[in-house]
Amino acid sequence: MTVCKKCLLTSDYPGIEFDDAGVCQLCRTDNRGFRAAPPPQLVEDCRRDFEETVERIRGRHAYDAVLCLSGGKDSAWLAYLLTEKYRLNILAYNMQPGFGSALSGPNLARVVERLGMTLRTFCWPPDFSRTFYRYLFTHPLKEGVTATVCRVCHSCLHSSAIRLAQKEGAPLVLIGYSPFQVTRDWFYERKKEEILKHFRLSGEFWKQSGMTPEVRERLYFPEEDEEAFSPRFLMPLHVLDYPSEIEVREKLEKIGLLDVRRTLPRSTNCDLTWLMTHCDTLHFGEPPFRDWVSEKIRKGEDSRLKYILAFKAITWLSRARLLKHRRIRAALRKLRLTEKEVLESLEKAEVSEEIFDDIYKINPSRDVIADLEKNT
Residue 300's pLDDT is 80
For residue 32, being part of any structural domain is answered with no
Residue 356 lies in a domain: yes
Instruction: Give the mean pLDDT of the chain.
Output: 83
Residue 143 falls inside a structural domain? yes
Residue 230 has pLDDT above 90, yes or no: no
Distance CA 107, CA 268 (A): 10
Burial of 180 (0-12, 13-18, 19+ CB in 10 A): buried
Neighbours of 127 (CB within 10 A): 12
Most confident by average pLDDT, 108-117, 121-130, 288-297: 108-117
Q: What pLDDT band is residue 53 in, cutting at 50, 70 and 90?
A: very high
Which CATH number does the domain housing residue 230 bear?
3.40.50.620
Judge whether 212 and 125 are in contact, CB under 8 Å.
Answer: yes
Q: How many CA atoms lie within 13 A of 360 on its CB side?
A: 14
On whether residue 322 sits in a domain, the answer given is no
DSSP collapsed to 3 states, 241-275: CCCCHHHHHHHHHHCCCCCHHHCCHHHHCCHHHHH
Containing structural domain, residue 109: 37-277+329-374
282 occurs within a structural domain: no
Count of domains for the chain: 1
pLDDT band at 27 (very low <50, low <70, confident <90, very high): confident
| CB distance 164 to 97 below 8 Å | no
pTM over 0.95: no
Q: CA-to-CA distance for 352 and 347, rounded, in angstroms?
A: 13
Q: What is the pLDDT of residue 99?
A: 85
Tell me whether residue 14 is in a domain.
no
pLDDT in tens, 348-376: 998 776 644 444 444 554 443 434 444 44
* Whole-number pLDDT of residue 348: 94
Q: Is residue 313 part of a domain?
A: no
Q: Indicate whether 12 belongs to any domain.
A: no
